[in-house]
Amino acid sequence: MESTRRQRPKYGFYVNAEQALSKDVGLFGRASWNDGQNEILSFTDVDASLSGGVAIKGTRWGRPDDTVGIGGALNFLSEPHRAFLAAGGLGLLIGDGALTYSGEKIVETYYAYTFRKGMTLTGDYQFFLHPAYNMDRGPVSIFSGRMHVEF
């Protein structure tokens, strides 16, 4: 990875698949890859990723507007990107000069509670193993919430 900042071509792909198994259950899967040769200037530090999950509507427990979901992701860096970070380089969000590389492993679960038409409160939990691609970091648990309101 060159350490100078200037415009360079970057190529890759992203594939997304979603499949309804029934009116209340849906699956998703995603895969992405980029060449990993140049600095990432948007989104996050990742050169390859696989993720998937399931979302289930609350019809079975009498809450048809609620949704529960669980998903997982595996994120990876290219060899040049790893070497850049291990040599002290900084990425968009990561880098401390002490990289003991391992792919990131993430599990996320959420519950979206609709308490009024157009108003949803969501509780979310994420578990990260080897955050920032470093075996010397984590694991990390993140709890969050969000409120969605439509007018």
Q: Is residue 51 domain-resident? A: yes
Compute CA 140 distance to the chain's CA centroid, rounded to the nearest angstrom: 14
What is the model's pLDDT at position 73?
98
Q: Across 77-103, where does the E strand assignment appear?
A: none
**Structural domains in the chain (count):** 1
SS3 16: strand
* CA 20/CA 82 separation, integer angstroms: 38
Residue 16 lies in a domain: no
Kindly state whether residue 102 falls inside one of the protein's structural domains: yes
Whether 108 is covered by a domain: the verdict is yes
Q: What are phi and psi of 60, to 5 degrees?
A: -60, -30
Q: How far apart are the two ends of the chain, measured CA to CA in Å?
A: 47
> Is position 85 within any domain?
yes
Residue 7 maps to a domain: no
Which residues of the chain carry a pLDDT beneath 70?
1-6, 39-42
In a domain, 143, yes or no: yes
Which residue range forms the structural domain that includes residue 129? Answer: 25-37+44-149
The one-letter code for the residue type at 115 is: F
CA 92, chain centre distance (Å): 15
pLDDT at 41: 66
- Model-level pTM? 0.84
Residue 86 lies in a domain: yes
| Per-residue pLDDT at 4 | 62
Cis peptide before 139 (omega within 30 of 0): yes
pLDDT score for 42 = 66
CB atoms within 10 A of CB 77: 25
